[in-house]
Amino acid sequence: MKNRQERFRLSPSDAAIQLDLIAKVRGVSTAEDFFLSLPNTFKDRRVYGALLNAYVQNRMREKAETLFDEMRDKGYVTHALPFNVTMTLYMNIKEYDKVDLMISEMNEKNIKLDIYSYNIWLSSCGSQGSADKMEQVYEQMKSDRSINPNWTTFSTMATMYIKMGQFEKAEDCLRRVESRITGRDRIPYHYLLSLYGNVGNKEEVYRVWNIYKSIFPSIPNLGYHAIISSLVRLDDIEGAEKIYEEWLSVKTSYDPRIANLFISAYVYQGNLDEAESFFDHMLEGGGKPNSNTWEILAQGHISERRTSEALSCLKEAFVTPGSKSWKPNPANVTSFFKLCEEEADMAKKEALEGFLRQSGHLKDKAYASLLGMSVTGDELSTKEDRTGDQIDNEEDDDDDGAEMLVSHLQGSL
């Protein structure tokens, strides 16, 4: 029996993995309890790093900074990973000056930057609108013999150049992305499809798509989402519809995010009838709308001053499975409120306010302020106090490349 207990004794590495899983499945609060229950001898840099990552993933800034300071005092921040994780937090909350400070600390303490550190630094400089600084970082990166710029490096730079309107430099970076794809990695193709769409180069979108299909016998939903999203942005609805029909013939599951691209495009064009027709087609094909689907339809009804239909769609959005990871766009909520006031229909306005309160969204002080709603008492909190769901808005692509960097960092933990 004693040998069996020793064989299955928990190690610090096991504890770090368990803490990470607990945070993802049961929430940060439960992960904190697990951390506190561990003997001090177990709490090495890996366990602290797992808790730090949990705080960063939930954008809990104060707790992350406090823990990082504790790790610094214990001598646990002598390598790049904890800096990278914390810099990702600052990228997500758009405090780019803090990224610069962390890079300075690493240089002062002779902590070697790794590929993730450089990529985050590039993204930070670009997010501040400085192509010169970004290029200086890239030159430093090239001079570092231990670093080999990867496809993420160039997709990050391309994203930043696009935001700055420097499309020629962006396309040069995209060519470098393509030249650095290794093995059977599908993800770079998704970025290429999306970024060429952002540049406005339809020819390149189709070229990359054809190469992608020639290499892989099957394309996942994310690949079809990337190509269709780009074609919709390029106003090539006919081309997007052809690829949608292709997807229908090969899909293993119906992804409502793909249908949402078309429904959103038709609503944007002011063609609500076509949007609703596509919605019906999705249902007939076995698709299940998500909260964003209902919100897009609500937006169409709001634009046509149909308060009853809009409220009905928003109600569905709040009760659809998975709605806990969704929040209505503040612009849509305020437009609905304004329409209700113009129509002197305060009952519908109050109904939506009720949905927002019941969902707990008004506990986010910053979100509530965007709606022009004053909250008091138990409803008043900050986003940082939350340990629950994160906003997952599939329509929001303005993440400064941070999500891509986060996913790569998670793989290195």
Q: Are residues 294 and 215 in the same domain?
A: no
Q: Are residues 210 and 314 in the same domain?
A: no
Structure token digits, residue 181: 């794809």
**Coil/strand/helix, residue 374:** coil
* Residue 55 lies inside a defined structural domain of this protein: no
Q: Are residues 248 and 285 in the same domain?
A: no
Could you give the C-alpha distances from 363 to 93, 103, 192, 339, 387, in angstroms and in order?
18, 34, 38, 25, 12
- Please name the residue that has the structure tokens 């094909």: 285
Compute and round to an integer the Cα radius of gyration of the chain.
24
Q: Are residues 297 and 404 in the same domain?
A: yes
Pairwise CA distance, residues 174 & 180, whole Å: 10
* Residue 36 lies inside a defined structural domain of this protein: no
Residue 325 pLDDT level (bands cut at 50, 70, 90): confident
Judged against a pLDDT cut of 80, whether residue 401 lies above it is answered with no
> Could you tell me the residue range of the domain that residue 374 belongs to?
278-413
By C-alpha distance, which of 154, 56, 72, 142 is closest to 106? 72
Pairwise CA distance, residues 199 & 159, whole Å: 9
Regarding predicted confidence, which is higher, 248 or 403?
Answer: 248
CATH value at residue 231: 1.25.40.10
By C-alpha distance, which of 233, 403, 256, 393 is closest to 329? 393
Pairwise CA distance, residues 371 & 385, whole Å: 19
- The 3 state secondary structure assigned to 194-213 is HHHHHHCCHHHHHHHHHHHH
Pairwise CA distance, residues 311 & 338, whole Å: 13
Is this model's pTM higher than 0.75 or not? yes
Q: Are residues 384 and 288 in the same domain?
A: yes
By C-alpha distance, which of 297, 303, 369, 314 is closest to 339? 303
Q: Are residues 315 and 395 in the same domain?
A: yes
On whether the CB atoms of residues 214 and 230 are closer than 8 A, the answer is no
* Residue 69 lies inside a defined structural domain of this protein: no
On whether the CB atoms of residues 115 and 148 are closer than 8 A, the answer is yes
Structure token digits, residue 367: 């979100």
Q: Express each pLDDT in 117-131 by its tens digit.
A: 999 999 999 999 999
* Residue 376 lies inside a defined structural domain of this protein: yes
The sign of the CA dihedral 221, 282, 196, 144 is negative
Residue type, 251: K
Residue type, 277: S
Pairwise CA distance, residues 361 & 384, whole Å: 13
Pairwise CA distance, residues 78 & 251, whole Å: 47
Which residues, other chains included, contact 16 with Cβ-Cβ below 8 Å and sequence gap of 6+?
Answer: 46, 47, 49, 50
Pairwise CA distance, residues 151 & 188, whole Å: 7
By C-alpha distance, which of 269, 334, 328 is closest to 293? 328
* Residue 49 lies inside a defined structural domain of this protein: no
Least confident of 213-222, 226-235, 361-370: 361-370
Q: Are residues 235 and 286 in the same domain?
A: no
Structure confidence at residue 374 (pLDDT): 66
Residue 375 pLDDT level (bands cut at 50, 70, 90): low
Q: How many domains does the chain have?
A: 2
Pairwise CA distance, residues 4 & 2, whole Å: 5
Q: Are residues 241 and 306 in the same domain?
A: no
Q: Are residues 215 and 346 in the same domain?
A: no
Residue 376 pLDDT level (bands cut at 50, 70, 90): very low
Q: Are residues 236 and 313 in the same domain?
A: no
Look at residues 252, 269, 297 and tell me which one is the last residue of a structural domain: 252
* Residue 144 lies inside a defined structural domain of this protein: no
Q: Are residues 282 and 407 in the same domain?
A: yes
On whether the CB atoms of residues 152 and 404 are closer than 8 A, the answer is yes
Mean residue pLDDT across the chain = 89
Look at residues 196, 217, 252 and tell me which one is the last residue of a structural domain: 252
